Amino acid sequence: MTQLILRRLLMSIPLLLVVSLVVFVLGSLVPGDPAQTILGVDATPDAVAALRDKLGLDQPWYAQYFHWLSGVFHGDLGTSLYSGEPVVTTLAERLPVTLSLVSLSTLFCMVVGIGFGMLSAVRGGFLGRVVDTLSLAGLALPNFWVAVVLVTLFAVKLRVFPATGYTPLMTSPFYWIVGLVLPVCALSLAGIATIAKQTRSAVLDVLDRDYVRTFRASGVSEWSVLLKHALRNASIPVASVIGIHAIASLDATVFVENVFVLPGMGSLATQATLDHDLPVIEGVALYFTVIVIVVNLCVDIAYGLLNPKVRTA
């Protein structure tokens, strides 16, 4: 188990290098002069040259990359071309918003998706069709569109939830959660659908197994069969779908944060794209990759905890 985690962590190092390198190489292809961009068209050639020298722009791209990389090890991701603030500072402000969204959405999808999946596996028929329809809707409706509709309905028309804005958890847990209800719903539709579908098929699969018959033949209650044995064994494939959803919802924050004007990393990345602010994009890419790695690690650990064959290996 520990070995598995260590191996995973080792494998994530090349991943981080690849992602940062790709973004960097792409960045070095940008036409135009970043120093000129920063200083504006009115800057004197001398000032531009000085800044170029300061930013190391005259060096070849690999030298620049190593410079950037050594900065990463010192907790320095450069400064935003647009605001002039250190990227690390900006990201530290933005990270909690995106993490709140992703973790709440994942939790919500887990509870509702597994609940729906279990119910439709046991009751079948009508609920099964509900899950099917829901999963079609979850696949078809683009999350930014769902987000806009949710805003229209619940924020503009009914005025039960705020349309925009974010309150930090530490300031007010109540307003934190109220502000996140609609964005989390918009993020979760697809996740609920896929998790419910996976849960249903996994539970049905387990209920057909011999050991379920053994327990039934021994007079063990149907509740125990379902909630203990079926759910426990079904949770192994479901765990990987939950991990996939967490990663997908991280990507989707880029769209949803924009609709709800949440000051997270996704909206930051969008703004940076419009501003040609590469250091910020590079920083967001690094953080996103780390989150993906952490999620995958969590899924691996969950596997280990749920599946004794992995744990005892």
Stretch that binds another protein, among 40-48, 54-62, 102-110, 271-279 (CB under 8 A): 271-279
Residue closest to 292 by CA, chosen among 6, 8, 4, 3: 8
Residue 261: count other Cβ atoms within 10 Å of its Cβ. Answer: 11
The interface with another protein within residues 103-122 (CB under 8 A) comprises: none
Stretch that binds another protein, among 19-27, 35-43, 58-66, 165-173 (CB under 8 A): 19-27
**Residues 6 or more apart in contact with residue 209 via CB below 8 angstroms:** 233
The interface with another protein within residues 25-54 (CB under 8 A) comprises: 26-27, 29-31
- Binding mask 52-91 toward another protein (x if CB under 8 A, else -) reads ----------------------------------------
The interface with another protein within residues 152-211 (CB under 8 A) comprises: 152, 156, 190, 194, 208-211
Count of residues in contact with another protein, rule CB under 8 A:
83
Nearer to another protein, 12 or 167 (CB): 12
Nearer to another protein, 58 or 251 (CB): 251
Report the nearest approach of another protein to the CB of residue 51 (Å).
Answer: 20
CB 81 within 8 A of CB 33: no
Nearer to another protein, 140 or 169 (CB): 140
Tell me the two tokens of residue 144.
Answer: 């930014």
Does 255 bind another protein (CB under 8 A)? Our answer is yes
CA angle, corner 215, sides to 312 and 304, nearest 5?
A: 20
The residue type found at 49 is A
Tell me the two tokens of residue 31.
Answer: 């036409």
Stretch that binds another protein, among 83-91, 98-106, 172-180, 237-245 (CB under 8 A): 237-245
Can you tell me which of 119, 292, 299, 302 binds another protein, judged by CB under 8 A? 292
CB 196 within 8 A of CB 266: no
Nearer to another protein, 176 or 192 (CB): 192
Q: What is the DSSP string of 255-313?
A: HHHHHTT--SHHHHHHHHHHHT-HHHHHHHHHHHHHHHHHHHHHHHHHHHHH-HHHH--
Distance, in Å, from the CA atom of 57 to the CA atom of 156, rounded to the nearest integer, reads 49
Tell me the two tokens of residue 90.
Answer: 């900006």
Can you tell me which of 148, 177, 181, 298 binds another protein, judged by CB under 8 A? 148
3-state secondary structure of 79: strand
Nearer to another protein, 100 or 143 (CB): 143
CB 204 within 8 A of CB 234: no
Report the nearest approach of another protein to the CB of residue 44 (Å).
Answer: 26
Nearer to another protein, 82 or 175 (CB): 82
Q: Which residue has the tokens 């000129």?
A: 36
Stretch that binds another protein, among 42-50, 96-104, 168-176, 275-283 (CB under 8 A): 275-283
Distance, in Å, from the CA atom of 28 to the CA atom of 68, rounded to the nearest integer, reads 13
Nearer to another protein, 179 or 191 (CB): 191
